[in-house]
Structure 1
Amino acid sequence: MNILDIIIERKRQEIKESKSKITLQQLKDSEFFNRNTLSLKETLQSKSGIIAEFKRQSPSKGIINDTVSPIEVVSAYENFGASAVSILTDKDFFGGNFNDILKVRREINIPILRKDFMIDEYQFYEAKSIGADVILLIAVCLSTSQVLEFTELSHQLGLEVLLEIHTEEELQHINKNIDFVGINNRNLKDFKVDLQHSVNLKNQLPKNVLSIAESGIYNTEDFNYLKEKGFDGFLMGEYFMKSENPAKAFEEFINKIS
């Protein structure tokens, strides 16, 4: 089993445990479930285009930064022009939790992407209940029919959908209802980064699809290269989070690209 297989197997166990503790009705009765969500489609084009991520750790890098406050970091992301924030909610492999979103939902007025491995209907109700606006679907983890089903459910709940792909085969997962297609510069199976591979895939996307470059953007040169190649947005986390002061790192990056 590769690391992705291990993560998905653990995720199935985690979902089963969650269902035994919190019912679907309890999720629907939660504070944020009926709030009007914010649109990444709107903020992506009116701000920097960066979806700035709060991430404590990853399987490939280990601990990245587990000392900073989610509220402090994401508030700075918003103040300095992020189009949205991405917050990891996977606990075992990325050190995330639902409270990271719950804590910041009242503090910021830009969309929140719940970043996790979404493989079950229940998780979409969870996402809505904690105040997320956008969810991530990872093509390699899902069938084309699941992507369509989960996209329809997300839209019923008022959530936008970012579909992540990495291979040409995964292009078939794109359907007309997808809001954004993210192209992961990092292969989830071996964690190698290849920006040119992502550009080649971007050129095969339907022309009306908003494209997001994900992961492996380590400097302004990478950012500018991908922007010149036509990407509409950029999901970045490690570049900022590896700094002792992610808020300051984001501010400095914005100043450079401006």
Structure 2
Amino acid sequence: MTILEKILQTKRLEVKQLLMEERIVSCETMSKRPSLFEILRESHRLEVISEMKRASPSKGMISGSTDPVAQAKAYEQAGAACISVLTDSTFFKGSFDDLAAVAEAVCTPLLCKDFIIHEVQIDRAKQAGASVILLIVAALDDATLQRLHNYATEKGLEVLVEVHDAKEMDRALAIDAKMIGVNNRDLRTFDVDIARTEEMAKHFPFNENRLFISESGIMDAGDAKRAAAAGASAILVGESLMRSSSVEDSLRSLQVPKAGVPL
């Protein structure tokens, strides 16, 4: 069984538990956040989606004692375009409570980072304050991917659709995904190679109204420049920022010019 299969097996049990909980929370009073799509489309620099990440299956504990609110405020102050909060508890030591706490503290777009397989998770993400959700193509069949994408957009959420290879890119384009993220980490083995972004850029329709994002394995300005040169509008960065002694310096070093934009 791959790491992804283990995660999804646990996630199906979590969904059953969520469905057993009768919980109705109004989403109407949530503050409106800026559109991540518009921020990325209008920016002349590579933007950073900064992640609150305590742990991962591949790295183990990264920063277990970090206060998510303090980390999110540091990200916002440093100029993050969006803050990603991991809400998976078993493998990444996150929670919807983390997401809700961060939502109250910052005004940036907010991404709920999880392995979403059911509408109830989207409801919980929105209730906790997310304005963007992640859908992972490798975790979903075509019908479920389309259904969850439609459900989220109808709820007023933006969707980042994650792919890892050309076939998954085609599946993301088939549901008309507007923001497509290439995960440089293979979710089956958790091996990382930033060359994945460069390879997937060959399959991305840059002439259409869509955005290309590079996820995982971005450690320094050199990696950021590679992603920008491949055509990325943003990078999703967790581990290197969580470990940094200066979030502001580290984040700003990643905000390099987009491809074709002079220094």
Q: TM-score, normalised by structure 2?
A: 0.89
Partners of 1:197 and 1:105 lie apart in 2 by: 32
Identity of aligned residues (%): 35
Pairing of 1:178-197 with structure 2 (within 5 A): 178-197=177-196
Secondary structure at 2:105 match in 1: coil
Instruction: Name the structure 2 match of 1:220.
Output: 221
Q: How many residues matched? A: 251
Partners of 1:48 and 1:82 lie apart in 2 by: 11
Instruction: Name the structure 2 match of 1:231.
Output: 232
Give the direction of change, closer, same or farther, for the CA distance of 1:70–1:60 in structure 2 (3 Å limit): same
Structure 1 spans left out of the alignment, 5+ residues: none
Partners of 1:194 and 1:178 lie apart in 2 by: 24
Residue-by-residue CA offset, 1:104-137 (whole Å, 9 max, x unaligned): 2122111000000000111111111110000000
Partners of 1:256 and 1:14 lie apart in 2 by: 35
- Give, in angstroms, the shift of residue 255 of structure 1: 4.5
Q: Which runs of 4+ in 1 moved over 4 A?
A: 255-258
Instruction: Name the structure 2 match of 1:155.
Output: 153
Report whether the alignment pairs 1:72 with 2:70: yes
Give the partner amino acid of 2:20: S
Of 34, 41, 54 in structure 2, the residue corresponding to residue 38 of structure 1 is 34
Report whether the alignment pairs 1:118 with 2:116: yes
Give the direction of change, closer, same or farther, for the CA distance of 1:35–1:108 in structure 2 (3 Å limit): closer
Q: Which moved more, 1:51-60 or 1:119-128?
A: 119-128
Pairing of 1:63-212 with structure 2 (within 5 A): 63-174=61-172, 175=174, 177-207=176-206, 208=208, 209-212=210-213
- Give, in angstroms, the shift of residue 235 of structure 1: 0.3
Q: Which moved more, 1:91-100 or 1:163-172?
A: 163-172
Give the direction of change, closer, same or farther, for the CA distance of 1:252–1:37 in structure 2 (3 Å limit): closer
- Alignment RMSD: 1.8
Instruction: Name the structure 2 match of 1:9.
Output: 9
Answer yes or no: is the 8 Å Cα contact 1:144–1:172 preserved in 2: no
Give the partner amino acid of 2:107: N
Answer yes or no: is the 8 Å Cα contact 1:48–1:81 preserved in 2: no
Partners of 2:31 and 2:115 lie apart in 1 by: 23
Structure 2 spans left out of the alignment, 5+ residues: 257-263
Answer yes or no: is the 8 Å Cα contact 2:4–2:187 preserved in 1: yes
Give the direction of change, closer, same or farther, for the CA distance of 1:196–1:145 in structure 2 (3 Å limit): same
- Give, in angstroms, the shift of residue 191 of structure 1: 1.4
Give the partner amino acid of 1:212: I
Secondary structure at 1:104 match in 2: helix
Q: TM-score, normalised by structure 1?
A: 0.91
Secondary structure at 1:223 match in 2: helix
Partners of 1:101 and 1:77 lie apart in 2 by: 14
Partners of 2:46 and 2:254 lie apart in 1 by: 12
Partners of 2:212 and 2:123 lie apart in 1 by: 25
Answer yes or no: is the 8 Å Cα contact 1:37–1:159 preserved in 2: no
- Give, in angstroms, the shift of residue 48 of structure 1: 5.2
- Give, in angstroms, the shift of residue 9 of structure 1: 0.7
Partners of 1:41 and 1:115 lie apart in 2 by: 17
Give the partner amino acid of 1:214: E
